[in-house]
Structure 1
Amino acid sequence: MTDHATPPQPASDPLPPSGTPAPPVPSAPPMPAYGAETAIGAVEFTQPALTPEAVAEERAHRARRRKAAVRWGCAALVFALAGTGTALAVTAPERTDIPGLATAGDGRYTFPPPALPPLPSGKAAPDGKGKSLHYADLRYLLLPAPKEAGGSVTAPTFPAPAATPTAPASPSASASASASEPATPATPAATATPAATAVAGWVPCDAILAEQQDPAKLRELLLQNACRAATVREWTASDGTRTQIRLLRFGSVSESWDTYTSLRSKGRPKAAADTKSTDHHDWADVPGVELTALESTATAAKGNPTARVAYLSAADILAVVTMTNPGGIPSAPFRQVVTLQSDLLA
């Protein structure tokens, strides 16, 4: 066997001799000073140092922005207050009191609030169907005079009701029957002007004959149907329109209806010698009241007729509304008067 020499083992790294210091551990790089260049990855950012002039400019810019914000805030507040004040100024008063928003006048009048007179004890109000009698004082069922004719704008008050009077069937005897009616005080609306006081009372049933072109036919009709009582009110408004409202009471619904149908078809009032029917289908219907409206063929300015007449039938009461004005009568006041009088009779 051949002996082989064993290779020598590599010598291990000698330990450092005792007393040799360890290599120092590198510390974190110091933070760059303000304004120094800093490298982050591959992008370098440089933040320049602010000079005193730049700091002053920045403060001035912020002050200007604050002042602008205050100015715009004050302006918004002023506009908000102005808008609120304008809204209150427009909504608080009546629309008709605001210039530019008031509705142009159409001739309608100013009446007091409607009020119905009390009924005698044990008597019922009309049923609203035109089939029951009226037991209230006939004079208090008249429409009061409007403000434009010197009337009051306060609601009328009524005295205690009295028994419903009756009169002989003959119209010639109706004058004495009217004189025998109970002397009930007139309403405040009726006593507002001397003219209203003079006509707001009992009148003969045949007083209406003087207003007709052919009174003989109507006289015969009143004799046949026995008119029991009558009253009238009239006024002249500031626009020159003369209004007359006449109420006639009969003993039954059939008697009143017969007089109404004959008068509306054959009656010829002197105030409107030539009349024609006028359309009132767009009017609000008043339950229990039948209406026939006529107007004169003679017209004035703007094509308005110089006379308008309305016949109303409400159970046992016949009403005749006559309005005349040489300058013409618009539809609005005529419709207003007729509707309000119908409401009192319904």
Structure 2
Amino acid sequence: MTTHSETAPGETASPADETPPAEAGTQAVEAEASAVEADASVMAAEVPAVDAEEPVVAAEASVVVGTAPKKSRRRLWWGIARWTTAVLVCGGVGTGAALGITAMERTDVPGLETEHDGRWDYPKIALPALPEGVQRPYTGGNDGEVHHADLRGLLLPAPTGARTDPKLNGGWVGLDTYLAELDADVRGEVREAVADSALRHIAARGWTMPDGTSTRVYLLQFNSVGFSETFKDDVLGAGTVGGKLPAGVEDAELDDATTDIRVPYTSVYAFKEQKPYGPEQTRWVYVQAGDTLALVTQSRKGEALTVPFQQTVALQTQLLG
């Protein structure tokens, strides 16, 4: 290989600048060899060293591991998706069940039933409307504490399942019907006293429950609270155990079943038939409420139960309060 070099005009080549052809070829080969060695050193630097103690198979295995993740990752993601779906479904079912239980009454949830306490199922109770221009009792301007609403609307309705008494259907009743609730020995005395008591009228309702409990409610309305209290205290003796007894009752004692009934402007006097009594027991109560005196009696074979008696008295007292 011959190298040509240009010389400026007027200049002559120096013998020292000329390179013999044989030496030039040798230099070119050495240069190419150096370049190859340099490339090899660069490649060696880029490839990590392999531990001499590990067999060559380890390097091949690493290649296999490097190409497998596509399939393994698909399985991994599929597993995650399945578990996520299961968790969401279980969560949804659990939430739905919780909401369903929350919306249910306690007595409808298996294992959480509340034992029935003996209360009766009364319909919704509301006060009757007042005639225009009058005031309710116990308010200013109504000194006689008169119930101007229709007295029949102040009677407690019969509970669900009751068999109503056709003679005591929530309407007006005569004096004889009321006197039949008292012992026969005192009826004449009470009849004579009524003539001087300014009694206006009597409303009554009666019913019998499936367990045999018989209930009668009487509302006696007088001209004012003064006449009502006088009849209660002087005629019936309703505030004492020695007062007029219901028919069929020989001896009585105070009944503390109504001590927690507190309705403003009312007074409650409760009694029960004292042992030993006959085939049935009677409980009764007088409720003084302004111009009206209520008598509530309950009789039942064996024993008159406390809970329905309390409930009935409380509701009737609220209607009069």
Counterpart in the other structure of 2:179: 209
The Cα of 1:81 is off from its aligned counterpart by 1.2
Larger Rg: 2
Name whichever structure is richer in helix by fraction.
2
The Cα of 1:144 is off from its aligned counterpart by 1.2
Helix, strand or coil at the partner of 2:268: strand
2:144–2:226 CA contact under 8 A, matched in 1: no
Helix, strand or coil at the partner of 2:210: coil
Q: Which moved more, 1:106-115 or 1:195-204?
A: 195-204
Residues 1:122 and 2:138 are matched in the alignment: no
For the residues of structure 2 that align with 1:128 and 1:100, how far apart are their CA atoms?
Answer: 50
The Cα of 1:317 is off from its aligned counterpart by 0.3
Counterpart in the other structure of 1:236: 208
Superposition pairs of residues 1-346 of structure 1, within 5 angstroms: 30=42, 32=44, 36-37=48-49, 48=59, 50-51=61-62, 53-55=64-66, 57-127=68-138, 132-149=145-162, 195-196=165-166, 199-213=169-183, 214-215=185-186, 216-261=188-233, 262-265=237-240, 266-280=243-257, 283-298=260-275, 306-346=281-321
2:287–2:295 CA contact under 8 A, matched in 1: yes
Q: Deviations over 1:62-120 (max 9, x none)?
A: 33432331222122112111112212321233333333333222222222211222222
For the residues of structure 2 that align with 1:49 and 1:106, how far apart are their CA atoms?
Answer: 82
2:168–2:204 CA contact under 8 A, matched in 1: no
> Structure 2 counterpart of 1:71, which letter?
R
> Structure 1 counterpart of 2:181, which letter?
E
The Cα of 1:37 is off from its aligned counterpart by 0.9
Change (3 A) 1:51 1:310: same
What is the CA RMSD across the aligned residues, in angstroms? 3.5
Helix, strand or coil at the partner of 1:88: helix
Counterpart in the other structure of 1:169: none
The Cα of 1:247 is off from its aligned counterpart by 0.7
The Cα of 1:273 is off from its aligned counterpart by 3.1
> Structure 2 counterpart of 1:134, which letter?
H
Q: 5+ residue gaps in structure 2?
A: 1-15, 20-26, 28-33, 52-57
For the residues of structure 2 that align with 1:279 and 1:59, how far apart are their CA atoms?
Answer: 84
For the residues of structure 1 that align with 2:259 and 2:238, how far apart are their CA atoms?
Answer: 23
Helix, strand or coil at the partner of 2:179: helix
For the residues of structure 2 that align with 1:278 and 1:201, how far apart are their CA atoms?
Answer: 29
For the residues of structure 1 that align with 2:155 and 2:213, how far apart are their CA atoms?
Answer: 18
The Cα of 1:33 is off from its aligned counterpart by 7.1
The Cα of 1:314 is off from its aligned counterpart by 0.4
1:128–1:288 CA contact under 8 A, matched in 2: no
Q: 5+ residue gaps in structure 1?
A: 1-16, 40-46, 151-192
For the residues of structure 2 that align with 1:108 and 1:268, how far apart are their CA atoms?
Answer: 27
1:245–1:321 CA contact under 8 A, matched in 2: yes
For the residues of structure 1 that align with 2:130 and 2:258, how far apart are their CA atoms?
Answer: 32
The Cα of 1:330 is off from its aligned counterpart by 2.7
For the residues of structure 1 that align with 2:72 and 2:46, how far apart are their CA atoms?
Answer: 24
For the residues of structure 1 that align with 2:258 and 2:301, how far apart are their CA atoms?
Answer: 26
Change (3 A) 1:69 1:340: same
Q: Deviations over 1:30-71 (max 9, x none)?
A: 2547763189xxxxxxx9565454246544443343233122
Counterpart in the other structure of 2:8: none
Helix, strand or coil at the partner of 1:200: strand
The Cα of 1:299 is off from its aligned counterpart by 8.2
Helix, strand or coil at the partner of 2:158: coil
For the residues of structure 2 that align with 1:271 and 1:312, how far apart are their CA atoms?
Answer: 21
For the residues of structure 2 that align with 1:292 and 1:35, how far apart are their CA atoms?
Answer: 107
Alignment TM-score, normalising by the size of structure 1: 0.67
> Structure 2 counterpart of 1:37, which letter?
A
2:144–2:224 CA contact under 8 A, matched in 1: no
Change (3 A) 1:52 1:274: farther
2:258–2:310 CA contact under 8 A, matched in 1: no
> Structure 2 counterpart of 1:200, which letter?
G
The Cα of 1:248 is off from its aligned counterpart by 0.5
